[in-house]
Every structure is written in structure tokens, then in C-alpha cells.
């Protein structure tokens, strides 16, 4: 029998759980949460007990005894900037997850993991949260001292895909220069230099390519005018940047698959124009990261749910194939990435870091 690991990934309208036995998933399950259910809770932290009990009930219904677990790992939240790696959930981490800088469902991943791990008599971990910060110093400086550039990106999936690619070609991640574009509801494009992400766009609230739900970089003067037009409140502007920007703002939908298979296939020229523009901004970001790596790029990796859509990939190929080979790893298997990080600790291949 191998190590049995529970991985937990809370999202805004769902909680994904998976049981892995070593590298193999033996159970995957998604708990759906309606808008009405979520609306009962003023803050995400208030959902902690509710989501935990749902997970425990689901495990019980699948005849999974928590006492059989070797470790529990949850998706990391918006804590302070930290190095890439696996972190044991300690009191300092619990405090910063509870009082996170911003509301996000991922904040309760580590907290749920810690409570279930306590019942199981094992340790709880998080790995590669979105606040992983390995930026080189020059990448932090913007044109306004009051607005430094910060590292918020899809660290968990990007790091996992980069390592998978390295293993596939028989090399170490730490020996490669890679550009990884995670293309989901938000899009992050990052320069991986010998195992460290030395530059990336803030994929959360207004930097880089526009995305299915994010506005990305927009003309600063126009944004200032919008803010002071008197037409919108601050929360409305924030939502326009993250949640109702990008494809949602232009086309009223965030599904790239639907846009490709229904709208564009049906002859909708505007939908094609907007999707091509999004793909174009991704391409420009990839080009910028090639400059960050001084042209020494071993491969460009496209990942995330949007990478399933060939019309997007093709535009990127047209613009970027001269830079380096483009390899597509569609989807975002965050559950496997979480489990493999915990497994690395259990096997003694990785040393958990201490959050302080």
C-alpha cells in the first residue's frame, strides 16, 4: 500500500477533493455550491466549517476513513509573498490565511486541510500558492513608486507543468529556461529561469494579457477617466478589472470553448476578432518574457483550460514559434500537483518549508 493523500481545492462555487495513493488518483469528486448557499456567508472564512463538513461527509459516503490518510494538502491562499515550495500549516500560516490580504476561496484550503489532518493525526500542507515571489529586483519597479509590480500568478500549475516538461525531455527544471503561459479565467505568462520565476504578470487584478474574465493591462489614462467619471463605484471598477473584464466585457461569456465551437464556427466575426485579440496579447506577453530570458528560451509551454482550444494556440504559434518550440499541456491538474508535492515530502524527496 502506498501513501494515501487528500488534496483539497476550494473554488468560488465548488470544492474539489481527490484521494491519491502515491501518484495515482483513486477518487476525484467536486462538491458544487449554489449562489444561494454561498450568499449565506458574509465572508469566505465563514464557509470554513461548512465546507469541511461537506468534505468529511463526501469521504464517508465513499468509504474513505480519514485515519487512513498519510497527509492532507490544500490549495494555498493570498498570504504574504513566499518562495516556491511545500509549507506545513503552522500557527503563523493559519493566522495569515484567516486574515488574508484579500477575499479568495483558496484562503480556506490550508485551513480545511489542517482541521481534517488534525482528525487524521497527520500533517497538513499547502504548496505553491499564487503569491509565490521569485521576481528579480528589476522586475518589481514600475513607473510609479507607489505602484510596484507584484508577483501573483498560477504558481501551482505553472511549476508543475514546468517540472513535467523537464522530466519528459530528461532534464532538470533547474537547468532550463522556460516561458509558461497559464490560460484560464485569468492568464499568467512567466519567465522560468533555472527553476525560478524571475518575472510574471499580476494575473489577478490588472496586468498582462486580457483573459476570459480579466481586463489585463488597459490604457492608464482611460482607466483614470473611468474611475472619476462618477458612473462607477470602486467595487464596480475592481469587478470590471477582475471578474467582468476581458471576454466577459466584450462578449458576455467566459467560455472559450463555446466561443470557438458555437459563435466563431457560426460565422460571428466580432467573436473571432475579440478572441484573436486576446491571443495576440498572450503572444506579446510571451515575447516580453523571451526578452527577460535574453532570448535563451528552451521551450514555450501553453497550459490551462484555454489551451484545449486550437484557435487560440494557432494565433500564438503564428506569433511566437520563432522564439522556441511550443509545447501544449492543456488543462490545469491542480489536484495532482498538490498531491505530488505532499508525496515528495512523505518520501523524503522534498523538505517542507517553515512559514513565518
Distance CA 342, CA 5 (A): 7
Residue 54 has a pLDDT of 97
Angstrom distance (rounded) from CA 291 to CA 61: 52
pTM: 0.91
Residue 34 has pLDDT above 90, yes or no: no
Q: Please, which pLDDT band fits residue 216 given cuts at 50, 70 and 90?
A: very high
The reply to whether 4-132+334-346 and 155-330 are identical in fold is yes
Residues sharing a CB contact under 8 Å with residue 266, sequence separation 6 or more, in sequence order: none
CA distances 340 to 38, 84, 168, Å, are: 30, 14, 16
Q: Is the pLDDT of residue 1 over 80?
A: no
* Cβ-based neighbour number of residue 323 at 10 Å: 19
Spatial CB neighbours of 171, under 8 Å, sequence gap ≥ 6: none
Residue 204 confidence class, pLDDT cut points 50, 70, 90: confident
Class of domain 155-330: alpha beta
Sequence-separated (6 or more) residues with CB below 8 Å from residue 31: 14, 15, 16, 17, 51, 54, 55, 58
Residues in the chain: 356
Class of domain 4-132+334-346 (CATH, top level): alpha beta
Q: pLDDT value at position 206?
A: 78
Amino acid 192: pLDDT = 98
Residue 286 to residues 103, 147, 290, 320: CA-CA distances in angstroms?
A: 29, 23, 6, 7
Dump pLDDT digits (tens) for 328-350. 999 988 999 999 999 999 999 99
Are 27 and 93 a contacting pair, CB within 8 Å?
Answer: no
Counting residues of the chain whose pLDDT is more than 90, the rounded percentage is: 92
Average pLDDT over residues 51-57: 97
Q: Would you list the domain boundaries of the chain?
A: 4-132+334-346, 155-330
Mean pLDDT of 286-303: 98
Rounded CA-CA distance 190/245 in Å is 21
pLDDT of 12 > 90? The answer is no
Question: For the segment 233-252, what is each residue's pLDDT rounded down to a tens digit?
Answer: 999 999 999 989 999 999 99
Amino acid at each position: 500500500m502506498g501513501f494515501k493523500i487528500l488534496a483539497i481545492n476550494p473554488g468560488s462555487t465548488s470544492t474539489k477533493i481527490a484521494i491519491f495513493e502515491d501518484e495515482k488518483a483513486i477518487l476525484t469528486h467536486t462538491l458544487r455550491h449554489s449562489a444561494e448557499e454561498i450568499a449565506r456567508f458574509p465572508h469566505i472564512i465563514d464557509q470554513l466549517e461548512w465546507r469541511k463538513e461537506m468534505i468529511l461527509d463526501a469521504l464517508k459516503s465513499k468509504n474513505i476513513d480519514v485515519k487512513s490518510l498519510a497527509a492532507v494538502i490544500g490549495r494555498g491562499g493570498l498570504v504574504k509573498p513566499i518562495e516556491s515550495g511545500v509549507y506545513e500549516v503552522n500557527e503563523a500560516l493559519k493566522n495569515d490565511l484567516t486574515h488574508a490580504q484579500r477575499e479568495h476561496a483558496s484562503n480556506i484550503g490550508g485551513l480545511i486541510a489542517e482541521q481534517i489532518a488534525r482528525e487524521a493525526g497527520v500533517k497538513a500542507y499547502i504548496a505553491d500558492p499564487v503569491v509565490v515571489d521569485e521576481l528579480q529586483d528589476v522586475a518589481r519597479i514600475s513607473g510609479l513608486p507607489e505602484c510596484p509590480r507584484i508577483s501573483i500568478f498560477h504558481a501551482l500549475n505553472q511549476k508543475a507543468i514546468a517540472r513535467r516538461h523537464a522530466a519528459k525531455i530528461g532534464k532538470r527544471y533547474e537547468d532550463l529556461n522556460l516561458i509558461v503561459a497559464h490560460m484560464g479565467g485569468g492568464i499568467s505568462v512567466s519567465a522560468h529561469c533555472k527553476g525560478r520565476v524571475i518575472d510574471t504578470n499580476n494575473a489577478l487584478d490588472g496586468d498582462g494579457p486580457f483573459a476570459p474574465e480579466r481586463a489585463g493591462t488597459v490604457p492608464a489614462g482611460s482607466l483614470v477617466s473611468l474611475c472619476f467619471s462618477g458612473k462607477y463605484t470602486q467595487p464596480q471598477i475592481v469587478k470590471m478589472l477582475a471578474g467582468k473584464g476581458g471576454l466577459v466585457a466584450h462578449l458576455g461569456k467566459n467560455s472559450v470553448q463555446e466561443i470557438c465551437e458555437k459563435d466563431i464556427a457560426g460565422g460571428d466575426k466580432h467573436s473571432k476578432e475579440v478572441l484573436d485579440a486576446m491571443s495576440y496579447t498572450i503572444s506579446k506577453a510571451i515575447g516580453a518574457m523571451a526578452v527577460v530570458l535574453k532570448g535563451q528560451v528552451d521551450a514555450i509551454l501553453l497550459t490551462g483550460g484555454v489551451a484545449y482550444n486550437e484557435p487560440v494556440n494557432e494565433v500564438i504559434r503564428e506569433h511566437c514559434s520563432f522564439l522556441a518550440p511550443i509545447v501544449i499541456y492543456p488543462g490545469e491538474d491542480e489536484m495532482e500537483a498538490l498531491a505530488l508535492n505532499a508525496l515528495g515530502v512523505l518520501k523524503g524527496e522534498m523538505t517542507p518549508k517553515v512559514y513565518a
